[in-house]
Structure 1
Amino acid sequence: MRPPRRRLPRAPARDFSLLQLLPNILTVGAICAGLSSIRFGVQGEYLLAVELIFFAAVIDGVDGSLARLLKSNSRMGAELDSLADFLNFGCAPGLLVYFWALQDMRSAGWLAVLALAVCCVLRLARFNVAMKAEDDVLPGPALPPGYFMGVPSPAGGLLAMLPMYISFAFTSPGGAHEPVLPGIVTCAWLAAVGLLMISRIPTWSLKAARIGRENVKFLLVGVAVAGAALLTYPWETLILLCAAYAAMVVLAFVRPPRQRHRG
């Protein structure tokens, strides 16, 4: 007769402080901002809707670094962040552009929105698998340090709304903010941004940037100037930032950085 198995004592559940839960709380707040932006887009309040997407992008740039700083990284937090990215940068921007300018185009406009959303979710799936495997899904040379493969989803979501920035910048503050670009151009832009997200173009990662001590003062001045410009001329500044980022992507495509090969 076999002796009865002794059950091993379970490890005590780990308790989290409210401070350690702050990154996940921020991510949930970003999800609420993305959903609220869709609501305001349906109601025609496009300025507030775009601002909420920008707010979600700021949170996305902070929550991961905060989690590492507080040593509260978790698989749940990573999955939550990925779901938030899909909602905030794959769904909400395309829907806002559709409600604002593409409803009259019907099928073509909706296909462009679908293309953006599908490309975003494919990019996030590829990134998640690559992070779990500590390698890239697709064969070939690895990326140089400090680079993403393709345009990240937050940058893609902000780029997708460029036609709205142009309209807001070149119409009066009290105007109706009618589209400046033709609908077919807006559709093509949404599809192009989606393709950039799933491309293999190495794009520079702001999070991996390193600044020399002698250049810190210039960076702080630049951040202050950019912040003041965003508050004073928000749409013109966003247009310039999108143009600068697009130029970086084109430069990386024409002259890709040196890649390190796997051993």
Structure 2
Amino acid sequence: MGRQPGKRRVELPIIALLPNLATIGAICAGLTAIRFAFQQEFVVAVQLVIAAGVLDGLDGRLARMLKSESPLGAELDSLADFLNFGVAPGLTLYIWAFPGMRNAGWIAVVIYGLCCMMRLARFNVDTKSAEDGPPKRFFKGVPAPAGALLAMLPMFVSFIWSKTPILPAPAIALYLIGVGLLMISRIPTWSLKSLTIYRENARPFLIGCVAAIAALLSFPWLALTALDLAYFAGIFWSWRVAKSLT
């Protein structure tokens, strides 16, 4: 069918498609991570999950910067989040950690994936109900991207020394379920959008960020392990702060 007579064609700047391209790139990274996990290339699989997380962090900011937010982009982003932070990490851990306990390991992966899905659904509902309000200081539960990084902590620790698990499979299964429960919990966790620093601390903060990036590039598994442990400490801290405010 051709264009309807009299219907005006609307031009769309190519740059306005960048957010959706970033989301599609994240989906491709997540799917490719699953492929490399099946090929036993676990380091590459984890790197692709992290790359998907970076792209996920960029797409929303690009959309707001370019003022090109759309319902299609929001739906793509939500689907990408479930793939990249629920399915890809879960399957990667399943293939890596549970060769000898397929059934029990699969149950842990399914619980984690369902918790991630429910966490994302709750986030979408909360976001729509608070669109006109100020940014919230705390999330309810661990966000899905942080949950994926926490779920892969046993891999980060193992990769420091070797590519094989150093923890027993039952312990990894219980840990994975625990991360899933943290995502759907009501425990307050910090929202990065609400964090502030004093102006005089801006330069030391930027230097610290550069040092953290350098550590991630030079000693990725050690740095990611430290980041996960710091996030666990941050959960306890945010819970204490939120409790003192009530």
Q: Same fold per TM (> 0.5)?
A: yes
Q: Distance in 2 between matches of 1:211 and 1:64?
A: 23
1:194 aligns with 2:185: no
1:155-166 equivalent positions in 2, closer than 5 A: 155-166=146-157
Q: Which runs of 5+ in 2 are unaligned?
A: 1-5
Q: Distance in 2 between matches of 1:157 and 1:220?
A: 26
1:204 aligns with 2:200: no
The 1:209/1:217 distance shift into structure 2, 3 A limit, reads same
Instruction: Report sequence identity in percent.
Output: 52
Once the two structures are superposed, residues 128-152 of structure 1 have per-residue CA deviations (whole angstroms, 9 ceiling, x without a partner) of 12222338xxxxxx99832211111
The residue aligned with 2:80 is 84
What SS does structure 2 have at the residue aligned with 1:127? helix
Shift of 1:255: 4.7
The residue aligned with 2:3 is none
- Identify the match of residue 169 of structure 1 among 160, 164, 167: 160
TM-score, L = length of structure 2: 0.91
- Identify the match of residue 64 of structure 1 among 56, 60, 64: 60
The 1:66/1:103 distance shift into structure 2, 3 A limit, reads same
The 1:17/1:211 distance shift into structure 2, 3 A limit, reads farther
**Contact map agreement 1:144 1:257 (CA 8 A) in 2:** no
The 1:201/1:112 distance shift into structure 2, 3 A limit, reads same
TM-score, L = length of structure 1: 0.85
Amino acid aligned to 1:45: E
Q: Distance in 2 between matches of 1:251 and 1:86?
A: 27
Q: Distance in 1 between matches of 2:188 and 2:153?
A: 22
Once the two structures are superposed, residues 53-88 of structure 1 have per-residue CA deviations (whole angstroms, 9 ceiling, x without a partner) of 111111111111111011011111111111000000
1:251 aligns with 2:237: yes
Structure ranking higher in helix proportion: 2
RMSD: 2.2
Q: Which has the larger Rg?
A: 1
- Identify the match of residue 104 of structure 2 among 98, 108, 124: 108
Amino acid aligned to 2:116: C
Amino acid aligned to 1:237: A
Q: Distance in 1 between matches of 2:236 and 2:155?
A: 22
Once the two structures are superposed, residues 214-236 of structure 1 have per-residue CA deviations (whole angstroms, 9 ceiling, x without a partner) of 22211210111001101111000
Q: Which runs of 5+ in 1 are unaligned?
A: 1-9, 136-141, 172-176
